[in-house]
Amino acid sequence: MNNVVSFYEKYDEEARLTSNNARKVEFYVTTTILNQYIKGHSKILELGAGTGVYSFYYADRENDVLATDITPKHIGIIKQKLSKRKNSINLSTEVLDAANLSNYKSESFDVVLCLGPMYHLTNALHREKCIKESLRVLKKNGILAIAYINKHFVLNTIMTKDKKFLTNNFIEKVLNTGVIKEGQKECFWTDAFFTTPIEMESFITKLNTQIIDHVGTDGLSPFLKDFVDNMNEKEYSVWLNYSLNSCREKSILGMSNHGLLICKK
């Protein structure tokens, strides 16, 4: 994970969810769907919290949130935000590897948000351990939310943006392994893992949990970035409404950049 930590020490993760209309769709759909399952006064563990966009959102809604991330820079940013807060919220934070939750007791959280780790757990055993540990620390009937990046979004966007990736080797690597690593010809990011909605459902159902919802959180918005970013407020409101109403449509889910699985222990 050293490559991933080094990458995010230099990357502006805050902007990924907040910088423009197209990117904000993911946050809007994710929170709107999650709010159907997360009630107030829940004890929430967020893995891969980044700079805490989701953690602050849920802490502001009277939940007790523990925001964790493997990148020290991100934890530092969360602490800085907390120090500038005038209102008191129940939010704590610490550096943590999402595949190792040994510091936490079994059945101690109502909700586990795993909205980032799957993007970078390139080892299958680590992905399995992350989910198994998340389920272990969840209370009975607790909610586990898992985000992932879609292989087909990656192929369509990367090959059209940079023709050096328009190769059979790139297609085969993404489709067959879902893994890219720094130093490889096929790497356009940092060490990363991509999957598909069907593959994720198959993976999760083997781990003794029940899938209760599955949505595409940004749909076609990333493909239509310029169009969405140039909308006025009224137009954008309509677009958000459409994004929410289409997020469970399988054809949209199959092409969405980010997918979200919601499971019940």
Q: Domains (ranges, CATH) in the chain?
A: 2-150+195-264 (3.40.50.150)
**pLDDT at 11 exceeding the cut of 80:** no
**Residue (of 149, 49, 148, 26) closest to 98 by Cα position:** 49
Q: What is the mean pLDDT of residues 22-38?
A: 96
pTM to 2 decimals?
0.95
- 210-259 per-position pLDDT tens digit: 999 999 999 999 999 999 999 999 999 999 999 999 999 999 999 999 99
Predicted local confidence at residue 40, as pLDDT: 85
Residue 1 banded pLDDT, cuts 50, 70, 90: low
Tell me which long-range contacts 250-254 makes (C-beta under 8 A, separation of at least 24). 250/197, 252/216, 252/219, 252/220, 253/197, 253/214, 253/215, 253/216, 254/150, 254/152, 254/196, 254/197, 254/216
Predicted local confidence at residue 166, as pLDDT: 97
Residue 5 banded pLDDT, cuts 50, 70, 90: confident
User: What is the pairing mode between strands 91-95 and 64-69?
Assistant: parallel
**pLDDT at 85 exceeding the cut of 70:** yes
Predicted local confidence at residue 68, as pLDDT: 97
What is the pLDDT of the chain when averaged over all its residues?
Answer: 94
- 119-144 per-position pLDDT tens digit: 999 999 999 999 999 999 999 999 99
Starting from the edge strand earliest in sequence, which strands make up the sheet with 43-47, in order? 91-95, 64-69, 43-47, 109-114, 138-149, 258-264, 210-216
Which residue would you say has higher pLDDT here, 18 or 186? 186
Predicted local confidence at residue 118, as pLDDT: 97
Residue 86 banded pLDDT, cuts 50, 70, 90: confident
**pLDDT at 204 exceeding the cut of 80:** yes
Q: What is the mean pLDDT of residues 163-190?
A: 96
